[in-house]
Amino acid sequence: MSDDHDHHDGTDDHELRVSKIRNGTVIDHVRGGQALNVLAILGIDGSEGEEVSVGMNVPSDRLARKDIVKVEGRELSQDEVDVLSLIAPDATINIVRDYEVIEKHRVERPDVVTGVLSCPNPSCITTAGEPVTSRFEVLDDAVRCSYCETIVREEIASLIDT
Amino acid sequence: MRHDHLITSKQLSRADIEAILDHAAEIDADPSAVADRHADKLLGLLFFEPSTRTKMSFETAMKRLGGDVVDMGSVESSSVKKGETLADTVRVIEGYTDALVLRHPKQGAAAMASEFVDVPLLNAGDGAGHHPTQTMLDLYTIRENAGLDDLTIGIMGDLKYGRTVHSLAYALSNFDARQHFVSPESLQLPREVVYDLHQQEGAQVREHESIDDVLPSLDVLYVTRIQRERFPDENEYQKVAGEYQIDMDTLDAASDDLTVMHPLPRVDEIAPDVDETDHAAYFEQAHNGVPVRMALLDRLLSEGGDGDE
């Protein structure tokens, strides 16, 4: 449960400056500065006509500063939520239907993410034009390439294969 | 272990390792017993990097089992030159052969290639990653000279890019072995390997910059080449190179029973005056590549394809 003062679409007072959504997903408690990476992970760039609202560095009781992403007309799959956990481990996912939050849960880190991140090791076989899908094991505080075994702790968002 | 591929020494348990070494010892004692064991089998050699010992010892091992090899040849003379992917190459060659041996400059190449083939695939070196069959012959040599339990081993040189070192370290963590890693700071073990070793229950690992710290306590000293080409500045190389060379003067501080090993080729890490001493085990180590690879091939070709534990 959020320690922020929640409203009916999962946001608090500070986020009222960002419009409520009717049906879709509110991704709350994203670490400050990560909102655009969240969109990148979800493959949302606006080119499909998606209606997206983003709040960045808004005050939060829990995180001091947080980002918030609202996606109209789209409910996230569990796979998408799992991957979000890599860069937004504190995030809460609010599924909204007809302006009401009908489901609310925290993200959980998956064991493996596939096809989402690119290996930063230039000597890794996955960077060599082979017909292979990237695969990373998720560690407690890092991710690890399943092929070359490189461990990445910082800047995981920079590995997002956009 | 999975019986159909050998990608990393991490997949080998102590029981796997002991079974392979025991089988290699049987073959070593009586090679004629397995002389026709795989007379109808073909081994595919896919070497995307230069190799002398590994490639020739695999070829020798297969022929001593009664089988034969087909060789992709050099990269320049193969379809790789036309831009063929590794995934396509292994899928084509598996149709000709009963097992594949792969050396490739990219880390993770063997792991990826194994996903595309059904015949057993052996990793003969993937960039700075792994070299598990080298490790098996290293362990065989260590067991013959010093035993594998209550062992104190120093591993010295280029630990960062040295795939033989990474594979050996993983395998030794199955045994009661105290591992001392000696290198310049710039060539220390990759953090991935350190992470794995620390995850391994019972692994005893320490890192040093000087061999003097540990030499008197060692049963085995495993030397690798400090790779000059890895240093951005020649002066930086010259500062450290002399610190990681072994000669008879250096060995004054060592136990009389110290076994000195090297995966070869060496350049100047071990002076020639060590060669004729009882310390030197590196040529014996290279010779052990044949019975050990015979044991591995026999195991994989006898059981390959079933994927059972």
**ipTM of the complex as predicted:** 0.91
Chain B residues with CB-CB distance to A147 below 8 A: 107-108, 111-112
pLDDT at residue B2 above 70? Answer: no
Task: List Cβ neighbours of B98 (8 Å cut-off, separation of 6 or more).
Answer: B38, B41, B42, B43, B67, B119, B120, B301, B304
Residues 6+ apart with CB under 8 A from B301: B38, B41, B65, B67, B98, B99, B120
What tokens does B91 get? 């899928």
Shortest distance between the Cα of B192 and any Cα of chain A, in A, equals 6
pLDDT band at B304 (very low <50, low <70, confident <90, very high): very low
Span B180-207, mean pLDDT?
92
Q: Which of A132, A139, A145, A150 to mutate to test the interface with B (most CBs of B within 10 A)?
A: A132
Assigned token pair, A26: 């509110």
CA distances from B87 to B84, B247, B290 (A): 8, 45, 28
Q: Does the structure show a pLDDT above 50 at A3?
A: no
Chain B residue with CA closest to A129: the answer is B85
Strands, E, within chain A: which ranges?
24-31, 52-60, 64-72, 92-97, 100-106, 112-114, 135-138, 143-145, 151-152
DSSP tag of B123: E
Catalytic residue set of B = 53-54, 82, 103, 131
| pLDDT digits 0-9 by tens, B4-41 | 899 999 999 999 999 999 999 999 999 999 999 999 99
Task: Determine whether the interchain pair A131/B191 forms a contact, defined as Cβ–Cβ distance below 8 Å.
Answer: no
Report residue A73 as tokens: 């007309």
Mutual angle of helices B132-145 and B163-172, in 10-degree steps: 60
Query: Which of A121, A123, A132 is the closest to B112 by Cβ?
Result: A132
End-to-end C-alpha distance for chain A, whole angstroms: 32
pLDDT tens sequence across B232-244:
788 888 888 888 9
User: How far, in Å, CA of B79 to CA of B144, rounded?
Assistant: 42
Residue B260: its H or E element: strand B259-261
Residues making up chain A, counted from first to last: 162
pLDDT over 80 at A19, yes or no: no
Identity of the residue numbered B124: A
Question: What value, to the nearest 5°, has the Cα angle with vertex B150 and ends B149 and B155?
Answer: 90
Place of tokens 């700075």: B128
- The model's pLDDT over B220-230, given as tens digits with 9 standing for 90+, comes to 999 999 888 87
Q: How confident is the model at residue A18 (pLDDT cuts 50, 70, 90)?
A: low
SS3 of B294, please? Answer: helix
Contacts of A130 in chain B (CB under 8 A): 85-87, 112
Q: Do A147 and B86 touch (CB under 8 A)?
A: no
Lookup: tokens for B170: 């993983």
Q: Is the per-residue pLDDT at A9 higher than 90?
A: no
So what's the pLDDT on residue A122?
A: 95
**Cβ of B106 and A131 within 8 Å?**
no
Alpha-carbon distance of A88 to A82, in angstroms, equals: 10
* Chain A positions in Cβ-Cβ contact with residue B107 (cut-off 8 Å): 121, 123-125, 147-150
Residue type, B285: Q
Q: Tell me, what amino acid is at B24?
A: A
Edge-to-edge strands, sheet with A52-60: A52-60, A64-72, A24-31, A92-97, A100-106
Whole-angstrom distance, CA of residue A88 vs CA of residue A27 = 9
For residue B203, pLDDT over 60 is answered with yes
Q: What percent helix, strand, coil does chain A show, rounded to 5?
A: 20, 35, 50
Pairing state between β A143-145 and A151-152 = antiparallel
Question: What is the least distance, in Å, from the CA of A153 to any CA of chain B?
Answer: 11
Q: What is the DSSP letter of A161?
A: -
Calculate the average pLDDT of chain B.
93
Q: Which of A124, A128, A151 is closest, CB to CB, to B195? A: A151
**Structure confidence at residue B145 (pLDDT):** 98
Structure tokens at B152: 């104190």
Burial B289-307 (b: 16+ CB within 10 A, else e): bbbbbbbbbbbbbeebeee
Residues of B in contact with A148 (CB under 8 A): 106-108, 127, 129
- Residue owning tokens 């959504």: A21
Residue bearing the bigger pLDDT, A19 or B196 = B196
- Burial, B229: exposed, middle or buried (Cβ in 10 Å; 0-12, 13-18, 19+)? exposed
CB-CB under 8 Å, A125 with B112? yes
Q: Provide the chain A residues 106-145 that lie in CB contact (below 8 A) with chain B.
A: 121, 123-132, 144-145
Neighboring chain B residues of A144 at a CB cutoff of 8 Å: 192
- Answer yes or no: is pLDDT of B75 > 90: no
Chain B hits for A132, CB-CB cut-off 8 Å, are: 87, 112, 115
- Contacts (Cβ under 8 Å, ≥6 apart) of A136: A112, A113, A114, A116, A117, A119, A143, A144, A145, A146
Nearest Cα residue in chain A from B109: A125
Count contacts between A and B (CB, < 8 Å): 55
